[in-house]
Structure 1
Amino acid sequence: MYTSAQQAAPVRMTVYPILIAISMGHLLNDAMQAVVPALFPILESSMNLSYMQIGWIAFTLNMTSSVLQPVVGLFTDRRPSPYFLPLGMAASLLGMVGLALAPSFLFVLLSVLLVGLGSAVFHPEGARVVYFAAGERRGFAQSIYQVGGNTGNALAPLFTALVFVPFGQKGAGWFTMVALLGIMILSRVSRWYSHKLEQREKDRAQKTAVKLEGQERRRVLFALILLIFLVFTRSWYSAGISNYYQFYLTQYYHISIREAQLYLFIFMIAGAIGTFVGGPLADRFGKKNLMLFSTVGTAPFALLLPHLPLGWALPALFLAGFILSLSFSTFVVYAQELLPGNVGMASGLIVGLAFGMGALGAVVLGKIADTYTLKSLMWMCSFLPLLGVLTYWLPKDKGRSAALGH
């Protein structure tokens, strides 16, 4: 069984330089993803895009990475590929060039496709590097890794205000330098990762140790489906805020696009802080407990947000973003414990498929905004965190044997 395999494994030390380096790579990767929503106000104006077309851009970005991440993860579980890390960054570099020069909506979609492909290639191998470097502090290590990505995403409003408002669409060209820096950092991480793979043959041993039969398999499948659904609903709420709240602010509170970016930045940077804090809390209080608190605890602030005066919106956004993101890294670690022999696929299912499928919400929410109003959209989004009560039915998380009820 898995627990005996764990007991037989030597205690591993946490490799902080690698965790910091892969977190920095995650930050740079997700910063380039953040360029896409940061361009939304510019593209909406310059190309006369509808809210639904904006939703299709977000959908293309996230669906590319979401569909491919578990596929890449399954492939690399069988054949780990350290140099996928800088290769993914190279694909994003090409996407930045395309966005800077895109003359039409279709060309924007093709460029965004490259950025999504780069993300899909990066994330599963990045998660495996974290797994190897984590030692016994998996929640904390995953937080270090994920806070890089969340911080990169949080920069989107600043990119809009500081780069794209003054320089327009061509400002995306500056991010080719970000991609080059990422390639250099991830090339060094890949060398460490390659040496680590030469020293270890544990993946194959774990796969033989975790074969499931009968009731065990059904329980793991139930837990995984419920986990993906919970992440899916969280993603729909985040999509509503990150893609459309800026338009809500400009339309109903009559503030400028530049001013609206501050509100998005507060929500996103609160998410980065919450991600960092959440990992150690999960290690201490349990993953299921933290996931339940995080999802349900967001609901009061989400429900209040559409009805608050502008002065109260900032603290409500901060608290909603902070509490919601406490469990961000915990969902990944929980999935890895359910599928310990398939770390890449587990990470791809949560970070990729579940979060990316949530981007389907960007299209649906855009259609709602076009058909009804932005106020109706915000009102509907505010109820999504209430679905977090379903976390109660997840199995306990004391390793996989506990998750299976043993």
Structure 2
Amino acid sequence: MFRLSFRSGGDAAGLPRRLVWGIALGQLIAWGTLYYSFALVIGPMADELGWSRVDLNAGLTLGLIAASLAAIPVGRLIDRHGGRWMMTAGSVAAAVLLVLWSQTGSLAGFYAIWIAIGLTQACSLSEAAYNVVAANAGDYRRAIMGITLITGFSSTVTIPFITLAVELLGWRHALLVLALIQLLGPALLYWTCLRDTVSGRQKLARQPEGSAAAYLPLADAFRDSRLWIMAACFGAQIFCTSGMTFHIIPLLQERGYEMALIAGLLALHGPSQVLARLLVVLLGKATSTATLGRLSFGMLVVAMLLLCLGASLGVPGLVAYIMLYGAASGLVIVVRTTSTLEYLGGYGFGTAAGALAVVTLLPRTGAPTVIAALWEVIGSYTPVLWLIVLLLGGGTAAFWYISGRRA
């Protein structure tokens, strides 16, 4: 049985274990309160307020755009000053915004709230957390994998709870409960568990011949071919995973599968994701970022090919697709983080991750709409799936290129 025990990059004894568990539990809760809650609340909101699903989903899109655009300034601040204050303040602000969301009756107000929630996501979710880990855990790759292993259970834990709260209390009171959980969970965990952490710049300054000005300028990042190569590979991956999140159910219904079977198949996604991460944690340093990335991109391509051929392969083919897709999507999150550290770390993790978020903004926010538009024009999902396979093939080639260049 593995233990979340890591060598320290900071000063305080026992910091890495406290840091990893604090961030992991905070992220597990926050993904539920600030992301999964949206899909569970908009149905009752639409029924009560009379707004369309398109109107409501536009709020989520605005939040994603705000989070992506805020990624650079937030990342640079965490690179300079550390993440304790930023992540705590973001979590407290998110709790306040959940209260405001519970009182909303205006579509314009709802959009403003979700733009602000997007800003708090930039301050307190994945990239901010990984920035802190990279500066304070000796084996940051294993630490990040441990965190994602725990947060992989977020949907399993939070979705049933939020669903029950909405059913019992109504969506407005359910959001008030989530606001309290956000305040007593992530906000309190980050304030206590990130104590004594250092920033990436402070870590550099403490190294032999280190310099607090050692990071390269932000402007250089956008002229760096490595950023654009990474944008090509992870943009393709983000387009695939973002699009499939919203279209896999109607796609399988188009092929004649019953909802009960679809739900059973999709239930395999979480366990396969967690199992893949657990395997990598157990392997430790035996797998490099290059190997893990090539494997995960290859699995994504094979998974989408299986989905393309699903009509002829039947249920066994769909099971294989879900297992491969879940495992690959579980690993590629870690690959994206560690690739940013290894290939663009000279700019500071927060700056590099923010730049990558900005240049992949369109595939992240536009994939569901683009796929829906193509389906409307073509009348079938199958040609769209083949297009995704081609995009992933190009993304895989881009990752092989940059990882080979690094070696």
Instruction: Verify same fold: TM over 0.5.
Output: yes
Return closer, same or farther for 1:374/1:185 CA change in 2, 3 Å cut-off: farther
Task: Find 1:392's aligned residue among 387, 397, 400.
Answer: 400
Q: Is the 8 A contact 2:32 2:159 kept in 1?
A: no
For residue 68 of structure 1, what is the aligned residue in structure 2? 70
Q: Which amino acid aligns with 1:117?
A: L
* Structure 2 Cα separation of the partners of residues 75 and 104 of structure 1: 33
* Structure 2 Cα separation of the partners of residues 157 and 172 of structure 1: 13
* Structure 2 Cα separation of the partners of residues 153 and 359 of structure 1: 21
Match runs of 1:254-269 below 5 Å: 255-256=258-259, 263-269=265-271
Match runs of 1:3-402 below 5 Å: 15-32=16-33, 33-39=35-41, 47=50, 49=52, 53=55, 56-80=58-82, 82-103=84-105, 105-123=107-125, 124-135=127-138, 137-152=139-154, 158=160, 162-164=164-166, 169-170=171-172, 171-180=174-183, 181-193=185-197, 201-202=205-206, 205-206=210-211, 208-209=213-214, 221-249=224-252, 253=256, 255-256=258-259, 263-278=265-280, 283-305=285-307, 307-308=310-311, 309=314, 312-337=317-342, 338-340=344-346, 342-350=348-356, 354=360, 358-369=364-375, 373=379, 375=381, 380-381=387-388, 383-387=390-394, 388-396=396-404
Q: Is the 8 A contact 1:60 1:113 kept in 2?
A: yes
Return closer, same or farther for 1:378/1:174 CA change in 2, 3 Å cut-off: farther
- Structure 2 gaps of 5+ residues are 1-8
Q: Which amino acid aligns with 1:363?
A: T
Partner secondary structure for residue 392 of structure 2: helix
For residue 399 of structure 1, what is the aligned residue in structure 2? none
- Calculate the TM-score normalised by the size of structure 2: 0.77
CA RMSD across the alignment: 4.0
Q: Which amino acid aligns with 1:296?
A: G
Return closer, same or farther for 1:159/1:235 CA change in 2, 3 Å cut-off: farther
* Structure 1 Cα separation of the partners of residues 203 and 323 of structure 2: 44
* Structure 1 Cα separation of the partners of residues 204 and 385 of structure 2: 49
Q: Is the 8 A contact 2:299 2:328 kept in 1?
A: yes
- Calculate the TM-score normalised by the size of structure 1: 0.77
* Structure 2 Cα separation of the partners of residues 310 and 372 of structure 1: 25
Return closer, same or farther for 1:151/1:99 CA change in 2, 3 Å cut-off: farther
Percentage identity across aligned positions? 12
Return closer, same or farther for 1:304/1:341 CA change in 2, 3 Å cut-off: closer
Deviation, structure 1 residue 345: 1.6
Q: Is the 8 A contact 2:233 2:399 kept in 1?
A: yes
Return closer, same or farther for 1:219/1:319 CA change in 2, 3 Å cut-off: same
Deviation, structure 1 residue 188: 0.3
Deviation, structure 1 residue 332: 1.1
Range moving further from structure 2, 364-373 or 41-50: 41-50
* Structure 1 Cα separation of the partners of residues 168 and 87 of structure 2: 32
